[in-house]
Structure 1
Amino acid sequence: MVRHLAKKHQAIEACGLHYAPLQSLSSDPKSQTLIPNFANIDRTLLLSDELLLDILSRLPLSQRNPNSLVCKRWLNLQGRLVRSLKILDWDFLESGRLFTRFPNLTHLDLLNGCLFSPRDSGILLTHKLIWMQMSSGFCSNCKFLQENLLPAEAVDKGMQALANGYPNLRRLVVINASEFGLLTVAEECLTLQELELHKCKDNVLRGIAACENLQILKLVANVEGLYTSLVTDIGLTILAQGCKRLVKLELNGCEGSFDGIKAIGQCCLMLEELTICDHKMDDGWLAGLSYCENLKTLKLLSCKRIDPSPGQDEYLGFCPALERLHLQECQFRSKKSVRALFRVCESVREIVIQDCWGLDDDMFRFASLCRRVKLLSLEGCSLLRTEGLEAVSLSFKDLESLIVVSCKNIKESGISPALATLFSTLKELRWRPDAKSLLVSSLVRAGMGKRGGRFFKRT
């Protein structure tokens, strides 16, 4: 009891209130209060729920969890302040306790809650998309996650409960839902703006197409070693015709071709950011990007190939509004595909390349097709040499920022006077091709970043 009261006193003081329990005025039993334990009465009972809720909402997030331990009333009030939650136990949703405990949720992540996971296992499976406990009989060749998913009927039942309990839902993450479950959410949760769907198929996307106000969408169709599903041009076309207000779209492990990307570009006129991860696209899909007239950011992540047969330049086109091109952990296997990619992205102002396999001087020279680049960032490009960096950097007449990190074949000894002159005119330079680099300190003494100032000279 003493510890409980001390914690309550600390929480009350954190809210800006003063706790001053009444004490007896005298040791005389006649002068003591007739109310038992009057000194221990909770003074916050004098405050209405609305007033106390307003006070608790003004506290830092770091204090909210400790405050919920004060008493049942504070626990319930604290639950009304929670807006985002990740469900780890599906029973918590099915029993209805979720809606009683957290009545005002707007962001829900059901991914881990849809998995059968042994509680007593000491083995933890982690992936960039999920994490879960697993048994010792795991086989790397099996679709482990696929075998431990809740059936679609159970997921749909939970989705229906969510739609009824949270009509103001704005963000949802779910796996193995069917068209029916998604359609229920789309009809009841009209404010839904962000959806992350794992293990989806073409027919499931009919439910997504009913989300007319959806702005951010992530589709994860196939994850090697975990589960498989199929999204093709049919699903992408259904998606494009239904979700016309999309601003950000991520396609992870999806199939498709020129027709699917073209449909997205023609229908989703507000699309500004497109992320394609580990794609299974057919040859020629790059040409479909030219139909995304308002696209500003293109990201390719973990793609084992770009487009082996992109076609002729006159059919490629380009994205007129594109400003940023991000390539991360991609494999550059074909000069033709790399050239086509930079041709489509010739209007970009930022190029970021990180840990991409196969990027050598010959392939990197195609980046010179992008004449308006202001920021160039290279990280983990081990095959790139100083000569290739110089050839491309000098072709960027508007270059203002250059970042070179962990590119071991870029040597300071190979820096020419022309490249040194470029360095001195940059507004930003992060130069760490290896741990022994001393160029940055030398450039600071030379006046780097001051246009018209002294240039760095080789010694």
Structure 2
Amino acid sequence: MRGHDLINTFLPDELMVEIFAHLPTKSNRDACSLVCRRWLRLERLSRSTLRIGASASPDLFLHLLPSRFSNLRNLHIDERLSIPLPLPLPVPARRRPPKVHCLADKTSSADTNPDSLCLSDAGLTALGEGLPRLERLSLIWCSNVSSDGLKSLAHKCTFLKSLDLQGCFIGDEGLAAIGQCCKQLEELNLRFCEGLTDSGFTELALGVGKSMKSLGVAACAKITDVSMEAVGSHCRSLETLTLDSEFIHNKGVLAVAQGCSHLKVLKLQCINLTDDALKAVGAACFSLELLALYSFQRFTDKGLRAIGNGCKKLKTLTLIDCYYLSDKGLEAIATGCKELTHLEVNGCHNIGTIGLESIGKSCKLGTKELLLLESIVIC
């Protein structure tokens, strides 16, 4: 780049790092890193977020990561994403093809352990030792990670605020270690964590209940109402809860509703819940702004009436495959939830024109000419 020597001469490292941190897109940052070696080094220092795939010996990559991106705070690792490996270019027949050195050289033999192609506990240990100030970590479908790796990470990365363990087969010991060490944890996703039980979850709630604000639990067959009772008892600041389970009943949701009065977002896909669960939400969760109900066969208009009576701040309502809800339920929402701005109805065959008209009429509040209802999706 013309004139870059003047920039390198007069601008100190601290100012260059600050400039790189304000670049709007990843492509711009990548382009700057190619200008010269100094810009490459400083651009790496400015990186706080990185998204990588877990393939081609990810443990080795995580050993190198801290030395290259020492200020990393947010790391997203997804084992479903692959890292393309370089392939040799075609050469004339008379010339000897050059040997291509890449990570695949060590993993292409038939007798290679397939586990070496997955992120393991050794990689998590190296990550914790190299990036102790990590704040946000996502381990998506890293199936070879166990409680041992998570325990090692927890003892090193005590500043963690967000942890996504979707598809990781970690056990109670790992989750308990997170509760014991990561006292600032605010967000946790436990989707498809089949190795967890109420024991580990309760230890987690005891440890980080004061800081926890967002929790997602889905397809965890051993997580029952006992865990939700622990949430209601210890996670008093919880604002977002996503539950997808056939093992959660009214008892668990009742405990959450009564204990988590600051709840703003509630997404439920639990086939064993009835109107009593929604009545508990309507009676206690006065700050609720978003409610999403999926595939409920046992909810009736009584449940929606309770939401309309209690959740006056509700802005977004999603109803998917709730067969026993009718226009009367929407009329109750329209009467009580005057701040509603988004409505999605899909597969609710008893909801028709009358219910939608009641929603539309109730939303003509605030100003005479402004219709507050921003979107309606009907399928």
TM-score (normalizing by structure 2): 0.73
1:309 and 1:203 mapped to 2: Cα distance? 36
1:162 aligns with 2:127: yes
Q: Encode CA deviations 1:216-266: one digit per residue, 9 max, x unaligned.
A: 1111125xxxxxx14443333222111121011111223433332121011
Which one of 212, 220, 233 corresponds to residue 191 of structure 2? 220
**1:306, distance to aligned residue in structure 2 (A):** 5.6
2:226 and 2:261 mapped to 1: Cα distance? 18
**1:179, distance to aligned residue in structure 2 (A):** 2.3
**2:234 equivalent in structure 1:** 267
2:117 and 2:174 mapped to 1: Cα distance? 14
Which one of 333, 339, 342 corresponds to residue 297 of structure 2? 333
**1:187 equivalent in structure 2:** 155
Alignment of 1:411-450 (within 5 A): 427-430=371-374
1:274 and 1:392 mapped to 2: Cα distance? 26
Q: Encode CA deviations 1:247-295: one digit per residue, 9 max, x unaligned.
A: 111112234333321210110121122122x323333233222233333
One-letter code aligned to 1:428: L
Q: Encode CA deviations 1:112-155: one digit per residue, 9 max, x unaligned.
A: 27x788969xxxxxxxxxxxxxxxxxxxxxxxxxxx87699x52
Instruction: Check the 8 A contact 2:271/2:295 in 1, yes or no.
Output: yes
Percent identity over the alignment is: 24
Determine helix, strand or coil for the equivalent of 1:270.
coil
**1:87, distance to aligned residue in structure 2 (A):** 1.9
2:291 and 2:184 mapped to 1: Cα distance? 27
Determine helix, strand or coil for the equivalent of 2:71.
coil
1:274 and 1:107 mapped to 2: Cα distance? 22
**2:2 equivalent in structure 1:** 9
**1:167, distance to aligned residue in structure 2 (A):** 1.4
2:77 and 2:308 mapped to 1: Cα distance? 37
Which one of 27, 35, 50 corresponds to residue 70 of structure 1? 35
Instruction: Check the 8 A contact 1:283/1:310 in 2, yes or no.
Output: no
- Higher-Rg structure is 1
1:361 and 1:89 mapped to 2: Cα distance? 44
**2:51 equivalent in structure 1:** 86
| Structure 2, unpaired ranges of 5+ | 87-113
**2:93 equivalent in structure 1:** none
- CA RMSD of superposed structures (Å): 3.8
One-letter code aligned to 2:266: K
1:257 aligns with 2:224: yes
2:125 and 2:352 mapped to 1: Cα distance? 57
Closer, same or farther: CA 312–183 of 1 in aligned 2, 3 Å: closer
**1:67, distance to aligned residue in structure 2 (A):** 1.1
Closer, same or farther: CA 333–77 of 1 in aligned 2, 3 Å: same
Alignment of 1:272-421 (within 5 A): 272-276=239-243, 278-284=244-250, 285-300=252-267, 303=269, 305=271, 307-308=273-274, 310=276, 318-327=283-292, 330-335=294-299, 339-340=302-303, 343=306, 346-348=309-311, 349-354=313-318, 356-359=320-323, 362=326, 365=329, 368=332, 371-381=336-346, 383=349, 384-390=351-357, 399=363
